[in-house]
Amino acid sequence: MTGKSMKRIFALLVVLLPLCLRAQEVAVGLSGSQAQVGEPVQLMVTVRGARGADVPQTLSVKGLQISLAGRSTQFEMHNFKMSSTLTYTYLVVPQFEGEFTIPSFDVQIEGKTFRTQAMKLLVTGGTRVPQQMPGLPQNTSPVPLPSGQPPASAETGEPFFAELILSKKKVYVGEVVPVELRFYFNSRIGGQVGERPTFGGEGFTVQKFSNAVKREQVVNGTSYVVFSFQSAITAVKSGTLEIPEATLEARLQLPGKTPQGLGDFFNNLPIPQGMFTDNRDVSIKTKPMQIEVVPLPKDGRPEDFSGAVGKFTMEASVSPKKAGAGEPVNLKVLVSGQGNFEGMGAPILTGDEGWRSYPPSDKFQSTDAVGFTGEKTFEFPLIARQDQTRTPGLRFSYFDPSTGKYMVLTQEPLEVNAKAGGAAPVAAGTPAASQADKPAPTPAAVSTPDVTTMAGGSTSWASLFFRREFLIANASMAVAWFAMLLILSIRRFARSRAGRELTRKKLLRDAFAGLREVEPSEFYEKARDYIFLRLNAGGDDLAAASRIDSSSLPPEFKASLHRVIERHGETKYAAGGAPPPSADERQAVILVLKDLEARYEK
């Protein structure tokens, strides 16, 4: 690093750092306004426009245990303006029921004192949940360390270390236990970490890992970047269970040697990553653990135990409320809570005589990242064998590991109006068809060979609409329709004023053009026809003469036209016939008619 480069870095810092300083704000909020005893909630203090703040490590409220869990920083650059947001997260663990007020407290930012607002938290009774990971939103869910103490590895000052956090050391077979894998990296180290840790072993199953949540945490005065992955394990056999190490691969930029004698100087500078560092591939491992797995007790186990282990509630609804003969109604059961949703069976129908039931469909919707909390919906299709006004009841049993006892949830029958009937009626009083008593595959309804004579229908998989004959027939009809449309349009046009005028103009053009090529003996006849056509005089000489006289044409012009009509008479009717017109005479007549055309065009 040359002196010139250092000067550039300092210049950049001098330019950028003041941009970080904007109006300072402090905001405070709780992740929830209600909680149960033992269920942690988060208190977040958000500081904007500052690079640091002094906040209290603990808050004293009787009935609430409040301690600072960590700090995260978020930088944003927008239009070359940098802004920073610091979030200090406290964990608030209620100790007993009641309504609590978290008092306002002071936050010091660069010598200024900001005071937060007081907040209320309502705590209700409930079993103590020793962890809060699944219920918390992602990216803001630092899981409390079991002891509330920093990790032991931090004391050694390692640049990176890992720990596995398990909420319980004694679990039941089939119980889902949330786990969190945390990988700590000294915040002065740069590098890349793997997408997922490797974790697994014999005697337990592992749920898929959540996406990594990254945050900052100060441990024993050292700032660490923490990547945490959440999952859940389920023990499948009793005894001592060895939880092996979990491993995360990473490529780190570990501190290298600084120039001799300048170590302290460089350590106190915001040196860019990569300067004086060695790139190393490392495997960060958690420490193996042991937990005790005990079998589910046999005492008190219901005969219809569903296999569910956890804590659940059950709700049911039916739709439609009215069903005609043979129509199914849908009994929908919602089992929600925390536990082994994958291993649980469906609730049991009670009092379902008079109903035909079918195995339910099921669908699980998780509300956390690891499938520990959520709701499972079972839908029972039911058809009444006899007229019914109430659905069957429901019974769901599970094992509650927090009390060590089996619990039974029941649902009373719901009101419904379903008529008996259907295509496959069953005699009243016979047991319902269910998974356990599927009817044998001997369909009585299909055993009569004569029914085949009832079959008709199509002999093609193609719909009539796609068959060639149908398409050709319709295409022909369409062609005929358009042809008819065309003919009608032409006819209508021909009858219209514009159409008639167009026809007349064409006739005039043809008649005039014919004058030049016609035989001399027929010349005056054609010339007379042209005049008739031009004057709309029909075929009558008298009418034509009258039209000529009544027109506004000049007298000499009128005389020329009369002369053409007279010459036609002479040619046609004179004894011995009039001599045919000479070329000059014809040219003169054509000029007269051309003049007539021009006058009428005007």
Partner 1 sequence: MKSSPIVVLLLLLSFHARADMLSDARARFRDGEYEQSAKLYEQELEKSPPSAAVFFELGRALNKTGQEARAALNFRRALILDPRFGPARSALQEANVALGIPPGRKDWRTQVVERIPLDPLALAGTVFFWAGAFAALAAFVPPALRGRRLVLGILSLIIGLSLASVAWLCDPRIELANTALVLTNGGTSVRSSPADQSEKISSLPQGSIVNLLSQRGRWFYGLLPGGTKGWFLTEGIVPLIPPA
Interface residues with partner 1 (CB under 8 A) are 208, 327-328, 356, 358-359, 361, 363, 379, 381, 383, 422-424, 433, 435, 438-449, 451-465, 470, 473-474, 477, 481, 484-485, 488, 491-492, 495
Quote the least distance from Cβ 433 to partner 1, whole Å.
6
CA end-to-end distance (rounded Å), the chain = 98
* Residue with smaller CB distance to partner 1, 260 or 459: 459
* Residue with smaller CB distance to partner 1, 269 or 484: 484
Quote the least distance from Cβ 453 to partner 1, whole Å.
8
Quote the least distance from Cβ 326 to partner 1, whole Å.
8
Cβ atoms of 250 and 159 within 8 Å: the answer is no
Quote the least distance from Cβ 376 to partner 1, whole Å.
12
> Which bin fits 85, alpha (ψ -120 to 50), beta or left (φ > 0)?
beta
* Residue with smaller CB distance to partner 1, 327 or 522: 327
Q: Is the dihedral of CA 44, 47, 48, 52 positive or negative?
A: negative
> Which bin fits 130, alpha (ψ -120 to 50), beta or left (φ > 0)?
alpha
* Residue with smaller CB distance to partner 1, 332 or 563: 332
Cα–Cα nearest to 401, from 320, 501, 310: 310
* Residue with smaller CB distance to partner 1, 258 or 386: 386
* Residue with smaller CB distance to partner 1, 240 or 447: 447
* Residue with smaller CB distance to partner 1, 491 or 594: 491
Cβ atoms of 345 and 306 within 8 Å: the answer is yes
CA 6 to chain centre: 50
> In the block, which residue shows the tokens 């929908």?
332
Length of the chain: 602
* Residue with smaller CB distance to partner 1, 78 or 363: 363
* Residue with smaller CB distance to partner 1, 129 or 383: 383
Quick one: angle between helices 555-573 and 541-550, nearest 10? 170
CA angle 373, 374, 377 (to 5 degrees): 150
Distance CA 276, CA 166 (A): 38
Distance CA 32, CA 36 (A): 11
Residue 310 vs residues 63, 178, 400, 457: alpha-carbon distances, Å: 27, 12, 5, 56
At residue 375, what are phi and psi to the nearest 5 degrees?
-140, 140
* Residue with smaller CB distance to partner 1, 65 or 366: 366
Is cis: bond before 320, omega within 30 of 0?
yes
Q: Where are the beta strands (DSSP E) in 207-360?
A: 213-219, 222-235, 239-243, 247-255, 277-285, 289-294, 308-319, 322-323, 329-339, 348-350, 355-357
Distance CA 373, CA 133 (A): 10
Alpha helices in 21-108 (DSSP H): none
Quote the least distance from Cβ 166 to partner 1, whole Å.
24
* Residue with smaller CB distance to partner 1, 274 or 449: 449
* Residue with smaller CB distance to partner 1, 13 or 484: 484
DSSP 8-state class, residue 553:
S
CA 356 to chain centre: 37
> In the block, which residue shows the tokens 């009670």?
350
Quote the least distance from Cβ 319 to partner 1, whole Å.
11
Complete edge-to-edge strand list for the sheet that includes strand 81-94:
25-30, 41-48, 81-94, 64-78, 58-61
Quote the least distance from Cβ 192 to partner 1, whole Å.
25
Quote the least distance from Cβ 422 to partner 1, whole Å.
8
> Cβ atoms within 10 A of the Cβ of 77, count?
11
Residues sharing a CB contact under 8 Å with residue 359, sequence separation 6 or more, in sequence order: 346, 434, 435
Quote the least distance from Cβ 323 to partner 1, whole Å.
9
Quote the least distance from Cβ 386 to partner 1, whole Å.
17
Quote the least distance from Cβ 301 to partner 1, whole Å.
27
Quote the least distance from Cβ 309 to partner 1, whole Å.
20
